[in-house]
Chains A and B, each alone.
Chain A
């Protein structure tokens, strides 16, 4: 790991909203290229970046749409940049094909989605958490991505750095799933000294010219990269390909490739997943939450604990890969999982799958446009404890 560049790090205590904190996290992580397209409620991220970057060194380009934005990000990465794009639901939908290309080409990049209410244009200025399944499954075919969900502007800052580091470590798109509330919530954000921020450098091939194979892998299933212009004169394609990067369209090569694209994440899930747990000892109910909903649910957890119910809290900082092992362990010990989310049941389905009938899963939905009334979550916990 390397240290962050002090020129890029706005060390100090600030009063920032989640979108702006996200920009500062990207800058600290070394992001030197953003291609984006305006969309509420995410635009503040690129507005701040376009103001900050000219004096720091880097490129911002406003593209003609979100498809162009994500694709320019991929090109920039293969040209040597650390790059990201920023969007919300409708733009996220448009990006899906090329998120698949990012997964297929194993392109390290970051996609921020500040979630609003959907489907379609839905609630442009109001909160939703209904894109979390799309983050995982939105593009066609089998692949794995990593998705993180901050619960505060402070965490938006730190998870952006984690996102870039994970993207470089595993060579895949990493999604940072803010929601409108976190994006527009203004709180204290403490940005540390650059020397306290760890940055994972890109895995660049050290092979001689003529020796480099774009998809030759070592022990960890992740190949080393080469940028355009380094003299390797390699070829890569979104078609099913062999180690040379050449199209190789047969079932055997496809099997090997798809397994690796998935297994490089699945087999490292324990290292990737970040969870924030409390009150798990002897818990009979576990409340599983992420993003703004974990803030709202605090009141419900405290109220039900005060009423004598043993409630544990499991907050998902990592949404994908899903912590199936941890939830499986808990399912053998607890009576029920209570899952409030600002959608009509998405992460709750994963919880239910992992619980596999050994503990009840109780969805507490909110369709969006606002957050839960904590009393509703409280009642769900009480119901689950009966």
Chain B
């Protein structure tokens, strides 16, 4: 138990959350806050020094996460959290760099970066809050919106085939992949802990309710009803074939840890190839060495 947790005048997560920014902007019964709480606990559990953790977000409801964590945190442009995080990680490999963003930000406008970061096995942990919709802009369809769902831009029902992000990233080469709902706080926290400690590209998808827009437009009931739906319809299948975990409208949600495999990271591949080609001439270089000094050496 950390010192912060023993003290009675502090919330156990005060050391990780920016309490001076509360209250947050998220709606009542939104799932993002729960996912952030799981993340904060996972970070504590990994015992990675908080000074060494950086969080990068894009734009959208989940994009605001960077602003609520008391870590080096960067709220960037729409879809570009992953390339920003890539630069951050390569400049200072000592950092644990986490991308925290939504399904639209990561898989629509940022889709190209998502697949290439997985292909490179860039050493990043990507936490994707998937609420099937664009919340911040008022409930438009996303690449993850299940067929027939009503959104403000599919008023007669969504008809485009949605992304199964797990299948996409398995094909690209991610090292670690898991999916839970915001109801599964313990399992989600466990998976985040594993993902944070896993070298290479790790991806945790957190299915979360957007009651203000998605649930209301589709008459799915209250926040409690949404949690009950997750409870009754989530099916834990560790090691499930990512090709088989599509999500259909108000149908069962396959959750679990799907992928956990060993692949060299971009940095390891870069070093290995240059070592092979250049031998002693290759100068393995960390732009920032321990202590945070800018080094030319």
CB atoms of A83 and B296 under 8 A apart:
no
A273 within 8 A of B: no
* CB neighbours of A54 from chain B (8 A): 274, 278, 281-283
> What number of residue pairs across chains A and B have CB atoms under 8 A from each other?
180
CB atoms of B90 and A227 under 8 A apart:
no
- Beta-carbon contacts under 8 Å, B77-127 to A: 77, 80, 82-92, 94-95, 112-113, 116
Closest A residue to B273 by beta carbon equals: A54
Min CB gap A84→B, angstroms: 12
Bound together, the chains give a CA A63 to CA B50 distance in angstroms of 29
Closest A residue to B57 by beta carbon equals: A237
A267 within 8 A of B: no
Bound together, the chains give a CA A68 to CA B87 distance in angstroms of 9
CB atoms of B116 and A229 under 8 A apart:
no
Interface mask (A239-268 → B, CB under 8 Å = 1, otherwise 0)? 100000011000000000000000000000
Select the residue from B75, B84, B87 with max chain A CB neighbours within 10 A. B87
A77 within 8 A of B: yes
B54 within 8 A of A: yes
Min CB gap B99→A, angstroms: 11
A234 within 8 A of B: yes
Bound together, the chains give a CA A238 to CA B73 distance in angstroms of 12
Bound together, the chains give a CA A75 to CA B274 distance in angstroms of 24
A59 within 8 A of B: yes
From B77, B92, B297, give the contact of A97 (CB < 8 A): B77
Min CB gap A51→B, angstroms: 10
A55 within 8 A of B: yes
CB atoms of B83 and A67 under 8 A apart:
yes
Task: Categorize the interface residue count of chain B.
Answer: 35 or more
CB atoms of B87 and A71 under 8 A apart:
yes
Interface size on A, residues (CB 8 A): 54
CB atoms of A80 and B116 under 8 A apart:
no
CB atoms of A236 and B75 under 8 A apart:
yes
CB atoms of B83 and A55 under 8 A apart:
no
CB atoms of A75 and B83 under 8 A apart:
yes
CB atoms of A72 and B92 under 8 A apart:
no
* CB neighbours of A32 from chain B (8 A): 285, 287, 296
Min CB gap A75→B, angstroms: 3
From A75, A201, A204, A234, give the contact of B88 (CB < 8 A): A75
A101 within 8 A of B: yes
Select the residue from A63, A67, A80, A201 with max chain B CB neighbours within 10 A. A80
A78 within 8 A of B: yes
Select the residue from B52, B86, B297 with max chain A CB neighbours within 10 A. B86
From B52, B73, B91, give the contact of A81 (CB < 8 A): B91
* CB neighbours of B297 from chain A (8 A): 57
Bound together, the chains give a CA A76 to CA B294 distance in angstroms of 12
CB atoms of B294 and A80 under 8 A apart:
yes
* CB neighbours of B278 from chain A (8 A): 54-55
Bound together, the chains give a CA A202 to CA B287 distance in angstroms of 14
B292 within 8 A of A: yes
Which residues of chain B have a CB within 8 Å of any CB of chain A? 18, 21, 50-52, 54, 56, 66-67, 70-77, 80, 82-92, 94-95, 112-113, 116, 266, 270, 274, 278, 281-283, 285, 287-288, 292, 294, 296-297
Q: List 21 A-B contacts (CB under 8 A).
A: A33-B87, A33-B90, A54-B283, A57-B283, A57-B296, A64-B112, A68-B113, A71-B76, A71-B80, A74-B84, A75-B91, A76-B88, A78-B87, A79-B88, A81-B294, A83-B87, A97-B77, A229-B54, A229-B95, A233-B71, A235-B74
Sorted from nearest, which 6 A-B pairs have the closest CB atoms? Answer: A75-B87, A79-B91, A57-B285, A76-B87, A80-B288, A237-B75
